[in-house]
Chain A
Amino acid sequence: MPVALEDLTRGAVCIGLYPFSLGFPLHQVVRESAEEIDASLEEHVSIEFEKTVQPEDVPEVVVRLKLRRVLLLQDATHGGRRDVIVAPITSLKPHQRERTSWYERLLRGQIPYLYRLTEQQQGVTAEAAVNLANVTTVSRDTLLRWTGQLSEQEMRTISEKLIDTLELDISGRLDALR
């Protein structure tokens, strides 16, 4: 059920289970809810459902899960690594588009932590944005379906936005190149 290893390339857009807490026994939920999740993925609808799981550390946990699109910021095709860093993708709501100056900045690519997606090959069916302010690590097993792939150029733009969003210091590298 998880996405095939060879499809987990940098820039892939996948539907994953949320919340993304590492160490949480999501694999158990995936196993026990396979039919329900499969049906939702086929219909391309977001699902929300509750599951009761029994991890070792606590007697019982009731968890509400939903499917959410994420962008892979790293290549995860190597079988030896079980986790991968992703950025969640969020659908734009009508009231957000009504913030005219904010929306125009988004259209011009000027919001440092957001990258706008509109095309089907980008793995979305409606206008959405990659939220680079909420980058997180997920278990590869919770990525359930591949829906698209961003280009090298798009990932280059996202990398530049990550420099601002994650407040990375690249001065040493720039100095070395001068």
Chain B
Amino acid sequence: MSGNASIHADAAVTGMAAVCGACDAGPYLRIRKLGKFMGKQDVLAVVAAARAVQAAGLTAPLGERCGLYAAVGYIPFETSEINRLLDASLDGEDFSMQRFAAQAFGAINPLLTFRVLPNMPAFHVSLNLDIQGPYAVSYPGIGQFYTVLEEAIAAIDSGIIDVALVGAVADQRNFLVEHHFSRVTPPVEPERLADAAAFIVIERRAEAIARRATPRARLVDCQLDYSPAEPFAGHAPSECLIRDGVTVSGFGELGPASLGVVLAGTERGRLTHRARTRDGFTVCSTWEVT
């Protein structure tokens, strides 16, 4: 038995941007000294969000009438950081709390705490674009991207906000996320995992046109179904993106960012996204890119 939700949008996508792999947030930082707090997921999110806002013809500060809605992938942790922590905590081959407290604790970079938290990409995006509106930050996959999209469109429809920045970010080429995907059924090879972020800007169509923005895309139809599934042993996941009848291939495992990455790379045409996730979501959406 499953339940469902539909997302109906009389709204326009006025900006889209995506980044995959390494990138530099430097040009987009409003307060440069806070750059030292940024992890890879934060950099990806800031770059994609800032470029989407630029593409929409908007500029910071976005203020109180802009909301931020984001899905963040599994919590990341780099091998080098983990090794430093473990090396200082071992007594022989075993973890020692005494050594952890006496040695490893002091070796932890205090900034590390901030770099892995799942709400930090939203913090850095809000800071650098000066967003003071509402938000929803979810985790960890493409099903959750759709749930934040639903929240964003509901906020626009109800008049709470005028602009929604909706996106996803996944820092996946690291020790902890690779470990996670090695234990699911079927396992995902690390080489298939990619670091990516994508954001879109959504506005009410009439207001977008009134400010002479060019609507780039619209959500034609969207359906979410859900039936609880055990994420380790549930049904095998599947995902496909079809652009004008042709299947888009080779985009790898982009976590919650998959739709956004392909959407941002679509110049024109009709894009359909279908996915069935390990955690029980079945999603289908169609977008028209003009």
Decide whether A and B assemble into one complex.
no
- A interface with B by C-beta (< 8 Å): none
Q: Tell me the B residues contacting A by CB distance below 8 Å.
A: none
